[in-house]
């Protein structure tokens, strides 16, 4: 299938002019932990064939290895740089418990972090650089100036935030406007049928007043919305990975599983998977610029992007049934 896929919708990233595919592909958990370069290549190539132009990463994913894998895949595929959007996030650091290199957004860290990410990607710039969390120990004005300078340098084209409060984002926008700096244009926050409050309530005024974008993560609630955790933790799933023990109780909580199972008959009536149903639902929110999907094998990529065909089936009546199922 040639790129772009006419079935794919491309949305502006907030009020910026940058257009991103409504379904995108990210590397959290999977790259290096579950995918090597060859399988990552298969997955990214499949996503691209479905019309995906937006690929998300982060410095902290697999200690920088995720960026290396994605960069090698892009080089192998030989995609022209103008044909895709690649993003990354910085905050946690990868150099251990070193002053100025961990859990910070101070100027020194940010300048080192963007250079490190670009080296691992093998790229001259990223399209969007996110502050992976907010930093209460660094003056916000320092962070805004540094991020704006990174954009001015051409090492990133836009900048954004991830899991910041609405008040922090508005304050950053106001600082940028006051000093005629590059403003943040997008958030990256968790949003799915089971986690809705921040996006739908806290950010409502932010979106209305500033047109802030959002490239949401965990649209399947770490996989629980696929229904695969109904009978426990399957071998090879995210819940079975070492280092993700904190997820297991959440994935198998009886109340959560009961809500998810209420979605199964709706998906069966529509002739789609539960994953496709949940992904399609996320796209209905006009404040969502892109829904970041993940996969540990290429079959999951094809299944996830099959959600494009489900979106037109979500009539107001069907949406009400979906939301009542998990209410």
Class of domain 10-222+283-296: alpha beta
| 7: confidence class by pLDDT, cuts 50, 70, 90 | confident
Q: What CA–CA distance (Å, rounded) separates 161 from 185?
A: 8
The predicted model scores a pTM of: 0.93
List the structure tokens of 225.
């919305």
Q: Which of 191, 185, 173 is nearest to 85 (CA)?
A: 185
- The three-class DSSP label of residue 217 is strand
Domain chopping of the chain, boundaries: 10-222+283-296
What per-residue confidence (pLDDT) applies to 1? Answer: 43
Q: Which of 213, 313, 214, 224 is nearest to 271 (CA)?
A: 313
Give residue-wise pLDDT tens across range 183-195.
Answer: 999 999 999 999 9
Active site residues: 61
Residue 13 contacts by C-beta under 8 Å, 6 or more apart in sequence?
A: 19, 20, 128, 158, 185, 186, 213, 215, 289, 290
Give residue-wise pLDDT tens across range 148-199.
Answer: 999 999 999 999 999 999 999 999 999 999 999 999 999 999 999 999 999 9
């Amino acid at each position: 299938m040639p790129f772009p896929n006419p079935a794919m919708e491309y949305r502006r990233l907030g009020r910026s002019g940058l257009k991103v595919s409504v379904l995108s592909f990210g590397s959290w958990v999977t790259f290096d932990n579950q995918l090597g370069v060859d399988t990552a290549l298969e997955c990214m190539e499949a996503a691209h064939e479905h019309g995906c132009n937006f690929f998300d990463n982060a410095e902290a994913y697999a200690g920088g290895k995720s960026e290396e894998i994605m960069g090698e895949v892009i080089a192998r595929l030989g995609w022209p740089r103008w044909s895709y959007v690649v993003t990354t996030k910085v905050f946690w650091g990868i150099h251990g418990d070193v002053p100025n290199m961990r859990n910070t957004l101070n100027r020194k860290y940010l300048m080192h972090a963007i250079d490190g990410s670009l080296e691992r990607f093998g790229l001259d710039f990223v399209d969007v650089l996110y502050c992976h969390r907010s930093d209460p120990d660094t003056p916000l004005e320092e962070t805004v100036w540094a991020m704006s300078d990174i954009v001015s340098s051409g090492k990133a084209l836009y900048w954004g935030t991830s899991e910041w409060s609405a008040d922090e984002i508005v304050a950053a926008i106001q600082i940028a406007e006051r000093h005629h700096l590059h403003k943040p244009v997008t958030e990256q926050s968790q949003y799915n049928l089971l986690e809705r409050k921040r996006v739908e309530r806290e950010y409502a005024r932010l979106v209305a007043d500033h047109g802030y974008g959002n490239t949401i993560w965990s649209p399947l609630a770490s996989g629980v919305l696929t229904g695969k955790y109904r009978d426990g933790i399957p071998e090879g799933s995210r819940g079975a990975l070492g280092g993700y023990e904190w997820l297991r109780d959440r994935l198998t909580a009886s109340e959560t599983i009961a809500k998810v199972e209420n979605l199964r008959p709706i998906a069966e009536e529509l002739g789609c998977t539960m994953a496709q149903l949940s992904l399609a639902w996320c796209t209905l929110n006009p404040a969502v610029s892109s829904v970041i999907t993940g996969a540990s094998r290429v079959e999951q990529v094809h299944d996830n992007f099959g959600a494009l065909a489900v979106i037109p089936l979500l009539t107001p009546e069907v949406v009400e049934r979906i939301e009542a199922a998990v209410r």
